[in-house]
Chains A and B, each alone.
Chain A
Amino acid sequence: MTDSTVVYALAGIWIAMLGLRSLLVNRDHFKRIVAANLLGSGVFLTLVALAGRGEGAADPIPHGMILTGIVVAVSGTGLFLALLGRLRELESSEEEET
């Protein structure tokens, strides 16, 4: 191991695996979205650590991809949370009526 960036890449893989496992195992939707965020962050960490390995400048192409990825992840999270919140709102209003 020539440089220390490899620990980030390995940590990223395992963070992604933790998130994936939690995504599969849990049934609560909110916990799943948190796990999905962790999965995404882990993958991003690994990719960027791979881009920044070795001496010299970092590879900017993965950086651009991950920048895009972060924004798309936020969009997905936002839409999902709006859906979930509206669903709970409807459920609780149904409970009040019955």
Chain B
Amino acid sequence: MTPELLIDLILSISLLLLAMVTLRQRTPGDAVIQLMIFGLLLALSWLRVQAPDLSLTEAAIGPGVTGALLLASLRRIGFHRPFPPPASLPFRAAASLGCGIVGVVLSWILLQSWDRPQGLTELAYQHLPESGSKNPITAVILNYRGYDTLLEIGVLLVAALSVYTLAAPVRGKAVKPPGAIFRLYLRMMTPLFLLVVPYMVWIGGYAPGGAFQAGALLSGLGVLTLLGPRPWPIQLRRKLLRASLALGFILFLVVAVWTWRYGDFLTYPPAEASKWILVIESSCALSIGICLTVMFAGCAGWLSEEREGFR
């Protein structure tokens, strides 16, 4: 029993237990908190499976953005309203049995095929110098599998726009303005955020980091601002805000079409690849941040069609 195996066993069993506990909670508020704790442990697990980029992203998005979205929506749903009882006993038994069987089959397949050789690792690392980035994951998401990222930004944009359509016609109840301590915190953290976000985008070129992590951090700043005294930096009708929502996707699309001259859709020439990647990453980070912030406002019920915008 090596120390690594011990840590991995403890971590994975804790994850499993946390998942069980999360699903046994009686009220939505408790379930959300347990899910956030699960996300934190999961972020730790990503490190143990050699995925530091995912660890950063999960730490920012799992407990961070998803937790914020869930908690914001509980304003309208109710923290302490208990869950209704689930389906009838025969159905529950059948579902448990079915999932158990599928789980056993999958585990057996996993253990049988564990020692199969790696897939495309050598190929990915071989072409790393001409991909425009020293970080293999950035190369994967913005070069080798650029389509996926393009469409994913599109999905995020569609989701944010759909949340806009769910805006209430009139403003809801006013929210109490924050106290002095939160204002002080906001004042101290905003410049720090504005420093770390571009740093995260930049460092994605050669170390764990990149557009998604930076976008998640930016959405954290957005959420803090919305909770603060003057959410006016994020007004509904400001054209700049709306433009920045779509900027990532549109710029990505423009770059994809532009590079059509050099060959296929969305193939960068190796000499200019890092420049294009940086341009795309920066705009995507901005878009991701604004989209997630808009979704947070939508979940909290703070989007309204009246002129004053948020709250």
Contact = CB atoms under 8 A, between A and B. Distances in A.
Q: Do A and B bind each other?
A: yes
Interface of A: 1-2, 4-11, 13-22, 24-28, 30-31, 33-35, 37-38, 41-42, 44-46, 48-54, 56-61, 63-68, 70-79, 81-86, 88-89
Contact of B23 (A4, A18, A79, A89): A18
Contacts of B5: 4, 7
Interface string B271-311: 00000000000000000100110011011110000000000
Contacts of B75: 85
Contacts of A81: 69-70, 72-73, 299
A58 B49 contact: yes
Given A71-B212, A82-B295, A88-B76, 12 more contacts: A11-B15, A18-B19, A25-B96, A30-B73, A38-B19, A57-B50, A57-B121, A58-B49, A61-B119, A68-B149, A75-B158, A78-B296
Contacts, number: 256
Contact of A37 (B53, B66, B95, B301): B66
A7 B168 CA distance: 47
Contact of B141 (A6, A44, A51, A67): A67
Nearest to B152: A68
Contacts of A49: 49
A44 B50 CA distance: 13
A87 B72 CA distance: 15
B194 interface: no
B166 to A, nearest CB: 5
B137 A41 contact: no
B32 A77 contact: no
B38 A38 contact: yes
Contacts of B227: none
A35 to B, nearest CB: 6
The 10 A-B residue pairs whose C-beta atoms are closest, nearest first, are A64-B140, A78-B295, A11-B12, A75-B159, A85-B76, A81-B73, A60-B136, A17-B103, A58-B50, A52-B49
11 contacts: A1-B114, A7-B12, A24-B95, A30-B77, A49-B49, A57-B136, A63-B54, A68-B152, A78-B299, A81-B73, A89-B301
Interface string B23-65: 1000010011001001100100110111101100110011001
Interface residues of B, number: 98
Interface of B: 2, 4-5, 8-9, 11-13, 15-16, 19-20, 22-23, 28, 31-32, 35, 38-39, 42, 45-46, 48-51, 53-54, 57-58, 61-62, 65-66, 69-70, 72-73, 75-78, 83-84, 86-87, 91-92, 95-96, 98-100, 102-103, 106-107, 110-111, 114-115, 118-121, 124-125, 136-137, 139-141, 144-145, 148-149, 152, 155-156, 158-160, 162-163, 166, 168, 172, 212, 288, 291-292, 295-296, 298-301
Given A78-B159, A84-B73, A8 B28 contact: no
A86 B72 CA distance: 12
A31 to B, nearest CB: 5
